[in-house]
Amino acid sequence: MTAVGLIFSNIHDRNITEMTRKRTMASVPFGCRYRLIDFALSNMVNSGIDKVGIVTHYNYQSLLDHIGNGKDWDLARRSGGIKILPPFITAYDSNIANKLYSTRLEAMIGVNNFINRCTEDYVVLSDCDIICNINLSKVIKEHEESGAELTMVTKKMFITGEDAGKYTIIEPDEEGYAKSIYDSTSNTTGIKTIAANIFVIKRTNLQSIILESLAHGYKSFTLDVLSVMAKKKLVKCYNFDGFYACINSLAGYFSTSMQLLSPEVRAGLFGIKHRPVMTKVRNSAPAKYTEDAVVSNSLVADGCVIEGEVHDSILFRGVKVGKGTVVKNCILLQDTYIGENCNLGCVITDKNVVIKDGRNLSGHETMPFFIEKGARV
């Protein structure tokens, strides 16, 4: 039993446009030192998958800088390893903007040549906007034993009408097969089984789906493929009971990040034996705290300098907090500089932001105040 991984780096960029104007969803920073793609990559590598294709779209320079040759995930290999798959455009295509994919199915059609060159038995498909630490070997094994055409990872969670369209709802039967698959609506409330956007399928079956989609002009993997397969009882559900979060808005990014301040959540993500979350290694000096610094219930990365107060916040590498400044419920990305005597609450700063002395900035948990990359306030 062998498997190849396929990660979609761009298809959810529109969900969090504030942070994806100059980068892909896959390279959005998360949790002090990680990028979102680290979780999908680590899940695959920890499950013995040593060949991974990353489907790109545009704005993927930061993703290339982060991944490099894949050595930090033990994927710098002569055979296998990481394969960056840019969108396929022929020299005869006009109006290129309309030729780039916008859905998961179109993305797979665009990298059909890569899939056809693979010899592995199974393909593991994963989005990059999901936060979880899952043993994919168990998913592949259960898929193989079930004989289903496709196995999808599912998660039971509480959703509200405000989540309309953000989740794909699954109704499983008593045997664990999906009876129906549909997108959430404003009337969808309560505890539901949702698709975690991780799929396992036999490579030859995926090739057949792509060919059929090309022939019929299918666009949606959920509506045109999964829903039809579910009616034929061909989709098996694998319920994941660990920590899971999907980054589908700026408020979702903020709330999920804040959950990392809980020791139980950190243990469920980063404390699982033999399943580390790997990322690009960057050697920096330890964080520095002055005599007047006060820090409580916060995650502070290396290279930070804290001279003021930091409470219930997440600070990435190289953040500077000046004297007399109070930071509460904030996410400060790499190399953010905050001057003296400032007050920040529910603020997200992108990289290289400068906040001058005496500034008072505040947002709300449901609508955090976001400052774009390189801005000066």
* pLDDT (tens digit per residue) in 155-204: 999 988 777 778 899 999 999 999 999 888 878 888 999 999 999 999 99
Mean pLDDT score across all residues of the chain: 91
Top pLDDT among 89 and 126 is at: 126
Per residue in 289-341, pLDDT tens? 999 999 999 999 999 999 999 999 999 999 999 999 999 999 999 999 999 99
Q: What is the DSSP pairing of strand 347-349 with strand 51-55? A: unpaired
Q: Rounded to whole angstroms, what are the CA distances from 115 to 82, 83, 94, 330?
A: 14, 11, 26, 42
**Which residue type is seen at 349?**
T
Instruction: Using a pLDDT cut of 70, give the percent of the chain over it.
Output: 96
pTM of this structure? 0.92
Does the pLDDT of residue 125 top 90, yes or no? Answer: yes
Q: Tell me the CA end-to-end span of the chain in Å, nearest whole number.
A: 55
- Main-chain phi, psi angles of 291, to 5 degrees: -65, -30
97 band by pLDDT with thresholds 50, 70 and 90: very low
Task: Supply the pLDDT for residue 163.
Answer: 77
Could you tell me the pLDDT band of residue 93, with boundaries at 50, 70 and 90?
very low
Residue 94 has pLDDT above 60, yes or no: no
CA dist., res. 243 & res. 59, Å (int): 29
What is the pLDDT, as a whole number, of residue 261? 97
The CA distance from 279 to 267, in Å, is 17
Is 50 exceeded by the pLDDT of residue 352? yes
